[in-house]
Chains A and B, each alone.
Chain A
Amino acid sequence: MTARYALFAGGLCILALPFFLGSPYAMHLLIQILLWGFVYTAWSMMGRFGFVSLGHGAFMGVGAYVPALLWNYYDVTPWIGIPLGVALAALLGLVIGYPCFRLKVVGHYFALVTLALSQVVLLSIVAARDITGGSLGLTQRAVGFSWYALQFPDKRYFYVIALVLWLGGLAVWRAIDRGGRQVLEAISEDEEAAASIGIDVLREKLRVTMISAALTALGGAIFGQYLMYLNPETVSGVAVSLQIVFAAIVGGMYSMLGSTVGALLTISLNEGLRVAFATNFIGAANTIYGILLILCIIFMPRGILGALENFTARGARSKAQ
C-alpha cells in the first residue's frame, strides 16, 4: 500500500512540475498528453467491451465545431455551446448505436458503420464550407483572456482544465468498471446468455456508447478552445479515428491508465522523432508507430499496461507459492 501512496505522491509532483518549469513547449506537450489521454480513455470505455468504433472522430468533430460555430456566428458562450455539442454527440451515439445494437451489427461491421459515420461528419463539415471554412479550417473569434469565452492565452489555465478533465475521465472509467463491468463483460462474451439472465443488453450498450461519445465530444471541444483553430481533418479525419483506437490499444484498454500510457507513448514518440530528425524526416514517427502497432496487436493484445499487469501478477503468484 505504501508503494501506491508513493506512486500517488510522485504523480502529484510530476503534475505540479509544469508550473515551475516555465517551458511553454513542455506545457504544450503535457496538455496534449492529458487531453488525448482523456479522449483515448473515453474511447476505451466502449472499446474494452468489444464495440470497436472507428468513428470517434465524428464525435470529436461535433464537440469541437458546435461551440466554435455558435460562438463565431451567434456570440453564444462556450459554456452553453459545449454542453450543446456534447449532447448532440451523445444523440449521434444513440442514433447510430440503437440500430446497430438492435440488429446485432457487431465486430468489423460495427467498425465499418462507425467509419462511415466519421466520413459523414467529416465531409459534412467540408461541404458546409461557407460557414465552417471547409478544409481551410476555422478560427474562433479571439477576445483575449475571458472566462465568458473560455479563452486563455496563458497555457497554464488549460493545463489545469486538461488535468481536471483527465481525472474526471479516469473517474468515469472507474465508475463504469465498478458499476457495470461484469454486466458489460457478460454481454461482450455472450449476448443471448446475458439477456437470458435478465440483463437489458440494449440499454447497457447504449449507455456506455453515449457516455463514450459525450466525453469524446467534450475532449474535442476543449481541444478547439485550446488550439483556437479547427480543421476537419485534424478533428474528424480517418487518421484521427484510427489514432484514437490504436493509442488506446497499444497502451492497454483494459486498464484505467492504459489509454493515458498510449497517449504518453504516441505523443512522446512523435515529438522525440520530430526533434531528432527535424522536418526532413516526416513520416519517420508513424513508420515506427505502424510497426509497433502490428507487433503490439500480434504479441500484446492487452496493450503495454495489460502485459505489465500480467507480468507482475505472475511474479506475485510465483512468490506466494
Chain B
Amino acid sequence: MDIYLVEAIVNGVLLGGVLALLALGLNLIFGVIDVVWIAYADIVMCGMYLIYWLYVGLGWPLPLACAAAIVGLAAFGMLVHLLIIEPILRSAPINQLLATGGLLFFLQSFATLLFGTDFRNIGVRLPVIELGDIYISYARLLAFAMALIGAVALYFFLKRTFIGTAIRAISQDRDIIGLMGADQRRIYLITSMIGGALAGLAACLLALQYDVHPFIGNTFGPLIFMICVLGGLGDMIGGFIAAFVIAQIIAIGGYYANTELSYVLAFTFFIVLMFVRPRGILAR
C-alpha cells in the first residue's frame, strides 16, 4: 500500500480525535437540553484567544493558561445558558438555535475588534513523531488521547454518578423530571457548565496545532454539528464513531482528490445519511 495513503489514514484517525473532542461538549448540550449552540465552535475560538492572550500577552505558564481557559469557558457556558437559552427554553427549538447564531456574530466580530483578523499562534511547537516513513503530529496524538479520555470520563460520569443520572433522565423527558423532585434549572446549568469546560479542553488542544483567528469557528462548526447528528444526539459513542468516519472521508478524499472535494463528500454523506438513518448511525 502507498505510504502516503497510510499516512492519510493515520492522520484521519488523529483528526477524528480532534473532531470527537470538539463534538463531545456540543453533543452533551444538544442531546440533553435539545438546544443547538450554533456558536459552539466560536466559544472554542474564544478559549483559544484566552490561552493566546494569557500565555503570549501576559506570560502565564501554558498549563495555567489552559486551566484558566477551561474554567473561563465553563463559566461562559453557564452564562450562555442563563442569558440566552433560559428565557426562550419553552419556545420553538429553532429560536434557540437562532439566538445562539446572534452569539456567533457577536463573538466573531468581538474577537475581530480585540485582536484583528491576523492569524495568531502561541508559538509552541510540539515534536513530530516518526514511525518508519510516517510522520505523526504529537499535538494531534495528544488531542486524540484527550478525546478518548474525555469520552470515557463523560460516559462514566453520566452512567455512574447521581447528577449524571439526572442529566440522562432530563434528556429523556424534560417535563416529568420535575415531578421526581429534581431541580431542572440546576441540571441544565451543570450541563452547560460541563459543555463549556469541554469547549475549553478542546481550545487547549486546538491552540497547540492551529493558528487562531476570529473565523476559525466557521471551519469546524458545520462539521461538528454533522458529527453530533450522525452519531445520534446525546450518544457519546455514536458521536465518537461518527467523528472518525467523517475524518476518514476527509483524509482519504484529500489523498485521492483535494481537500475541498473531500469536505464536499463528507457533507454530502451527512445529507444522504440524514435521510437513510435520521436517528444516527448506531440507532436501532
> Which A residues form the contact surface with B (CB < 8 A)?
50, 52, 96, 99-100, 103, 105, 107-109, 111-113, 115-117, 119-120, 123-124, 126-127, 237-239, 242, 245-246, 249, 281-287, 289-294, 296-298, 301
Q: Secondary structure of the B side of the interface?
A: helix
Which of chain B's residues have a CB closer than 8 A to the CB of A108?
36, 93-94, 97
Known: A120-B264, A123-B267, A297-B99. A290 touches B106 (CB 8 A): yes
Q: Which residue of B lies closest to A242 (CB)?
A: B101
Tally of contact residues, B, Cβ under 8 A? 47
A116 touches B117 (CB 8 A): no
| A291-B106 CB under 8 A given contacts A127-B258, A298-B99 | yes
Contacts of B263 in A (CB 8 A): 119, 123
Contacting residues, chain A, for B132 (C-beta < 8 A): none
Report how many A-B pairs have Cβ atoms within 8 Å. Answer: 145
- Partner-binding segment picked from B9-17, B65-73, B107-115, B179-187: B107-115
Closest CB in chain B relative to A229 CB, distance in Å:
20
Give, as a whole number of angstroms, the nearest-CB distance from A84 to chain B. 22
Tell me which residues across on chain A come within 8 A of B271, comparing CB atoms: 96, 113, 116-117, 120
A105-B274, A115-B225, A293-B99 given; name 17 further pairs at CB < 8 Å.
A50-B94, A52-B98, A103-B275, A109-B278, A111-B94, A112-B226, A117-B267, A120-B267, A123-B264, A124-B260, A124-B264, A126-B260, A242-B101, A283-B110, A286-B109, A294-B102, A297-B95
Is B84's CB within 8 Å of the partner chain A? yes
Q: How far is the CA of A105 from the CA of B112 in the complex (A)?
A: 35
Q: Are A290 and B105 in contact (CB-based, < 8 A)? A: yes
Residues of B within 8 A of A296 (CB): 102
Q: Which among B84, B92, B98, B263 has the highest number of chain A CB atoms within 10 Å?
A: B98
Q: A283, B98: Cβ atoms under 8 Å?
A: no
Q: Are A290 and B92 in contact (CB under 8 A)?
A: no
Taking the closest CB of chain B, its distance from the CB of A29, in whole angstroms, is 21
Contact call B97/A286, Cβ cutoff below 8 A: no
Does B82 belong to the interface (CB within 8 Å)?
Answer: no
Known pairs A107-B92, A120-B264, A127-B258; A282 contacts B112 (CB<8 A): yes
Q: What residues of chain A lie closer than 8 Å to B111, measured between beta carbons?
A: 283
* Cβ-defined contact, B102 with A287, below 8 A: no
Q: List 15 A-B contacts (CB under 8 A).
A: A50-B92, A107-B92, A115-B222, A116-B271, A117-B271, A119-B222, A119-B267, A123-B260, A123-B264, A283-B113, A289-B106, A291-B102, A294-B102, A298-B88, A301-B91
Q: Which of B87, B88, B98 makes the CB contact (< 8 A) with A249?
A: B98
Chain A nearest Cβ from B154, distance in angstroms: 22
Chain A CB within 8 A of B165 CB: no
**Considering the chains assembled together, what is the distance between the CA atoms of A120 and B112 in angstroms?**
27
In the bound complex, CA of A112 to CA of B95 (Å): 14
Contacts A120-B264, A120-B271, A127-B261 given; does A246 touch B98 at CB 8 Å: yes
**Residues in B neighbouring A285, C-beta threshold 8 A:** 109
A246–B102 touching, CB < 8 Å: yes
**Any A CB within 8 A of the CB of B229:** yes
User: B246-272 vs A: 1/0 string, CB under 8 Å?
Assistant: 000000000001101101100110110
CB of A282 within 8 A of CB of B117, answer yes
